[in-house]
Structure 1
Amino acid sequence: MSKNLHLTLACGDYEIIRPLREGLVKADGIDLTFVTNMDSTTRHWRFLRNREFDVAEVSASGYIAAKAAGQDLEAIPVFLHRRFRHGFIFTNTASGIRTPKDLIGRKVGVKSYIVTATLWLRGILEEHYGVPHQSIDWYSQLDEDVDISLPAGVKLSKIDDGKSIEDMLVEGEIDALLHPDIIKPIQARDPRVGRLFNDHEAEEVAYFKRTGIFPIMHVTALKREIVERHPWVAINLYKAFDASRRMAMQRMQNPRIVPLAWYREAWEEQEAILGKDPWVYGLDAQNRTNIETLARYSFEQGLSRRMMKAEDLFLPLDEGRGRGDASRY
């Protein structure tokens, strides 16, 4: 019988966790039960509200707000989901919105206000395009993952139960929508809906070249009681996630495993723009800038009560100079 610590892990079913899930990589001293059959929004709510899992991939925005409020959770710098977001600003084509500043004074929907994708977009629109978040009338569909009390000057309304924020965009009840997913009207090529940035990839590449940020969407959080009882868990989990990622990325270099005609060309294009390892974990200079930019947006927009630094958000993983796996022989 195994005497390992048993933990439940809720996360997306990603290629980068496949070696860990299939047992090709093991977390030393830990047996993991994977829970992957739910959408991100549900997983975030169930962990941030109810702590239903021992470890969970959660919204970075929700985690920052919860941590700033003193909630009983911790995180390791394992970032299972990143995504550029310029292509997720959708407009009603009859609204006359052609440039970012055309959003000022308009009705703009969000899935929920605290969603990481929309926090990034509000921050980017304000910092890089001159669109203050207070200049927009916001409309949200879902309850928030974490209780928030927005500052005076922010206009946020909850739409009626049963209404769809995507349908409201199609019908012109709102002028634009910031959303974490490719919305159904775009997938259906509905002519009533378009994107703010027609060439959003060019905007994203320019943003990365300017900032070095490939936006972090999710962090890997743990119940604080797990860490208090078993302080060694954080480092061992981090090492397992990182080994799984590195194994998966090695496998993904083979174009035969992906049914895309120009997959290898896309891989090489990513490498040329973002560098050799854009999915790296840990708190190197780029990841620190990334997460602290999001934390700054959270504080500036009133989602978190205090400005959070990387050290405030993540457990220490230091094993001492000259120690760790590299020193084994």
Structure 2
Amino acid sequence: MKNIQLTLAVGDYEITRPLKDGTVQAEGIDLTVLTGMDSITRHWRFLRNKEFDAAEVSGSSYIVARDRGMPLRAIPVFPHRRFRHGFIYINKNKGIAKPTDLIGRKVGVKAYQVTAVLWLRGMLEHEYGVPHTSIDWYSDLDEDIDFTPPKGLRLTRVPDDKSVETMLAEGELDALLHPDIIEPIVRKDPRVGRLFENPKAAEIEYYQRTGIFPIMHVVGIKQEIAERHPWIPRSLYKAFEQAKAVGMKRMRNPRVAPLAWCQEALEEQERLLGPDPWVYGLTPENVKNYSTLMQYSHEQGLIGRMIPMEELFLDLSEGRKRGTFRT
């Protein structure tokens, strides 16, 4: 029987690269793996244009897509997670020293729907007493999925000839929530800094208190493919699991990463976050993690209801005590 041909757009990470180089193959599937685009472009092309059969996609925008009834489903594979305290940037001349100093300020975002930005707004509100409605928001890009700002939300799209990063450095914005390390930080612009001077310490405290290592992305699949070939989601899930195992084993080789203390970083990660902080599947920890993101989305008017996990993620069960191959 011929394999099914599928396109998969995903980030070029150690834990996904084995799918691209063929070290791991999804059973019954010939994958064309596309990695040559940045995240926000990949998300837009999948959600807006349906260009790929499956894709790593914004966790925030996927929730919005399901709330809208868009013909997409997902498997509980989370290729990208990241702590976010270090991604709140400030103009150093604006007298911002603590989170509540953001109240009443002009704050930029790459796009309002971006998962990292949703996490940060939720954290600021729940952990630090900064209501999302207390800020004037300015977005750089159009959204993955169009939405009408709810009542009480002040959101302005900046002109195409402007950048929120430049506006922050020049003082037009007071602060910026962004998914990436912004150019002023890379260039060591003296006008720009981080809200949290020691973000790692804040992130460790947050994890130890909440158990959340924030999920950024999920793997979405066109609904028609999942319905036509119900075995494909399971096959993809297993392939992602195998690829992660290969990638993490490879990282044990200190020659792989050009970092002086790579092994020590891995040991610290295990000590702080456990043996597999990148775990896939609907574990209790992952359900809490993604439910928290969805709670923020609901509170902030991006979605109209809390969506049950079984509506968000495809059932990959193979039955009780099944799924292990015995010779």
TM-score bucket of the superposed structures, by smaller chain: over 0.9
Amino acid at match of 2:270: E
Indicate the residue corresponding to 2:181 in structure 1: 182
What 5-or-longer segments of structure 1 have no aligned partner? none
Indicate the residue corresponding to 2:157 in structure 1: 158
Indicate the residue corresponding to 1:328 in structure 2: 326
Partners of 1:187 and 1:247 lie apart in 2 by 32
Deviates more, 1:266-275 or 1:251-260: 251-260
Indicate the residue corresponding to 1:146 in structure 2: 145
Are the equivalent residues in 1 in contact too, given 2:19–2:33 (CA < 8 A)?
Answer: no
Determine whether 1:27 maps to 2:26.
Answer: yes
Amino acid at match of 1:264: Q
Amino acid at match of 1:87: G
What 5-or-longer segments of structure 2 have no aligned partner? none
Deviates more, 1:307-316 or 1:6-15: 307-316
> Which runs of at least 4 in structure 1 moved beyond 4 Å after TM superposition?
none
**Given the two structures, how large is their TM-score scaled by the length of structure 2?**
0.98
Partners of 2:209 and 2:133 lie apart in 1 by 25
Give the 5 Å matches for 1:165-176. 165-176=164-175
Give the 5 Å matches for 1:203-242. 203-242=202-241
CA RMSD of aligned residues (A): 0.9
Indicate the residue corresponding to 2:39 in structure 1: 40
Indicate the residue corresponding to 2:193 in structure 1: 194
C-alpha displacement at 1:327, in angstroms? 4.3
CA offsets, 1:273-326, max 9 Å, x none? 0001001111111111111100111111011121123222100010001111x2
Indicate the residue corresponding to 1:71 in structure 2: 70
Give the 5 Å matches for 1:175-324. 175-324=174-323
C-alpha displacement at 1:198, in angstroms? 0.3
Indicate the residue corresponding to 1:126 in structure 2: 125
Corresponding residue pairs, total: 327
Amino acid at match of 1:122: R
Partners of 1:143 and 1:29 lie apart in 2 by 37
CA offsets, 1:31-68, max 9 Å, x none? 00011101111110000001000000010000001111
CA offsets, 1:121-163, max 9 Å, x none? 0000000000000000000010000111221111101111210
CA offsets, 1:229-253, max 9 Å, x none? 1111111110011011011111211
Could you tell me the percent identity over the aligned residues? 64
CA offsets, 1:148-181, max 9 Å, x none? 1221111101111210110000010010000000
Indicate the residue corresponding to 1:95 in structure 2: 94
Partners of 2:43 and 2:103 lie apart in 1 by 30
